[in-house]
Each structure stands twice: as structure tokens, then as C-alpha cells.
Amino acid sequence: MNPITASIGQRYLMVLVMLFSAVTMTALPSTVMAEDEVKVVYHADFADPRRFSAMLTSVNNMVTHYQNELIEYDVRIVFVAHGIRFLSDDKLTGTPFEEDAAMAERRENNAGRLMALQNVQEVKLELCEITRSQVGLAKDKLYEGVILVPSGVVQVAKLQSEGFAYLKVE
């Protein structure tokens, strides 16, 4: 339809269609337009319990926002190397990840917050099997619900290829 030769009624209809399209596209949240679920992976490969606490705060703030906005989410934390410290009460004596004073001081608080994220807000906890086996930590010493993945870095890369946003708290 040529806008110059179109009748008044046809022009009116074209304007309505364009307005409806513009309003519909701007009114929908971008997460709904892109997909029905937000996907985020946090990478925990560090030893500092204060940094881990900051990461837990970030994860909690994120999932709380999504819950308040009624947005479906899949948030995961993939633990590699030093990150194993945060998934067990074992002191990991004789390993490169051995408990230090800062870890001993913050372990109980961080563990409680981590378990709340997992049990209440359904954040998935995934541990690199290579790390676990190399330090000889028995599977039954891990916190309940920890999922073992063959390789943590491969899991992070896989999740990114599946559309997960990658976050690492520095």
C-alpha cells in the first residue's frame, strides 16, 4: 500500500498498526522478549572468605530481585580450586586449600548463607570433580545438594554457550 495514494481509512489503519507495534515492543520486559528465564553462572575459584561473602550478597540480591519481579531464573555457582573450601566443613589439612584463620572465623556464617541460597532460593551449587578428587575429599564430606561436574571450567564454558551470563566477584 502506497501511503501517498492510500485512502484516509487505510492511512489511519497503518498508523494504528505502527503505534500498537511500538507500544507493545516497549511495554514488554526485555527478559520476556528474549526468553522466559534469566540464566546466570557465578565462578568461585578463590580462597578469600570475605570475597565469598560479597559473592553471596550479590547472588542473594539478584535472586531476590528476580523473585520480587516474578522472573524465572536459573542461578548457579560453579566452584573450582580454592572454591572447594566453601562446600565442606572439612579443614582440608595438607592441601593447597587448607583452612586458615579467616576461613575458620567466617565458615559458619558463610555456610549458613550458602545453604539458604540453595535450599530456599534454589541456587544450584556445582563443584569441579577434578578439584575434589585431587585433594582426596570424600563425597560425603560435601554439603548436601552439591552437584559434581566433571570439570568446573568446562562447566562454566558450557553454561556460557547455553546463554548463561558469567559473573565473578572480584
pLDDT value of residue 26? 39
pLDDT value of residue 4? 54
Q: Where are the domains of the chain?
A: 1-30, 35-167
Q: Residue 42 is inside which H or E element, if any?
A: strand 37-44
pLDDT value of residue 97? 97
- Rounded Cα gap, residues 44 and 55, in angstroms: 9
Considering just the CA atoms, what is the radius of gyration of the chain in Å? 23
Exposure string (b/e) for 5-26, b if CB count within 10 Å is 16 or more? eeeeeeeeeeeeeeeeeeeeee
Chain CA centroid to CA 61, Å = 11
**Second-level CATH architecture of 35-167:** 3-Layer(aba) Sandwich (3.40)
Q: Please report which confidence band the pLDDT of residue 24 belongs to, taking 50, 70 and 90 as the band edges.
A: very low
SS3 content of the chain, % helix, strand, coil (to 5): 55, 15, 30
Span 126-152, average pLDDT: 98
Q: Residue 159 is inside which H or E element, if any?
A: helix 152-161
- For the chain, the average pLDDT equals 87
Exposure string (b/e) for 37-48, b if CB count within 10 Å is 16 or more? ebbbbbbbbbbb
pTM: predicted TM-score of the whole model, two decimal places: 0.80
- Rounded Cα gap, residues 101 and 98, in angstroms: 10
pLDDT digits (tens, 9 = 90+) for 64-111: 999 999 999 999 999 999 999 999 999 999 999 999 999 999 999 999
Span 114-125, average pLDDT: 98
pLDDT value of residue 36? 84
pLDDT value of residue 33? 35
pLDDT value of residue 27? 39
pLDDT digits (tens, 9 = 90+) for 34-56: 458 999 999 999 999 999 999 99
